[in-house]
Amino acid sequence: MYTTNDFKKGLVIQLDGAPCVLVDVSFQSPSARGANTMVKTKYRNLITSQVLEKTFRSGDKVDEADFERHKGQFLYADGGRGVFMDLETYEQFEMEEDNFSAIAPFLLDGTEVQLGIFQERMVNVDLPMTVELVVTETAPAMKNATATAQTKEAVLETGLRLQVPPYLEAGEKIKVDTRDGRFISRA
């Protein structure tokens, strides 16, 4: 059991029978003496990926989720679904198309990830902060147009489209931020 005093960003709790990760926690005291402190939370349901808000009273208790993080690996895409393997138990898990489509552009076969296991079933995949991917298509660089910061569209080996600096060419390996899908640097 957790109390609201244990709440912090990243903590996994169980609400309405589902594991939920706290995305934001703020403590609000309506009076100067601190009586009746309220704890406002924003959390993401790890099964539905829905982001919700809930307010608790100070001292409220919530259940600890039967949630574990395991080192895992992306094996391959099967139709629209992704197949992952737990590197500790070698058990394989499938991720349904609606959840997999959001992370698929960042995954190559063999990419190491963190698997979220709830009641012996995979409910979440945490990607590494950055991935290295090869540019397969991009327009040629524009010369003598340096009045403003320029970018051009590039297509990566996974099909991801993003804006890159004009000096990059097809065949180069780049680092991409998996949180927002933006170019970071050459690899």
Would you give per-residue pLDDT tens digits along the chain (187 residues)?
A: 999 889 999 899 999 889 999 999 998 877 666 567 889 999 999 888 889 999 998 889 999 998 999 999 999 998 889 999 999 999 999 998 888 988 999 999 999 999 999 988 898 899 999 999 999 999 886 666 555 678 889 999 999 999 998 888 899 999 999 989 999 999 8
CA–CA separation, 186 and 140 (whole Å): 17
Is the Cα dihedral 52, 27, 38, 5 positive or negative?
positive
φ, ψ (nearest 5 deg) of residue 174: -130, 160
Domain 130-186 has CATH 2.40.50.140: yes
- Identity (one letter) of the amino acid at 183? F
State the span(s) of the chain assigned CATH 2.40.50.140.
Answer: 130-186
Topology (CATH level 3) of domain 2-64: SH3 type barrels. (2.30.30)
Topology (CATH level 3) of domain 71-121: OB fold (Dihydrolipoamide Acetyltransferase, E2P) (2.40.50)
User: Helix, strand, or coil here: 36?
Assistant: coil
Whole-number pLDDT of residue 47:
85
What's CA 78's distance to the chain center, in Å? 21
State the span(s) of the chain assigned CATH 2.30.30.30.
Answer: 2-64
DSSP 169: -
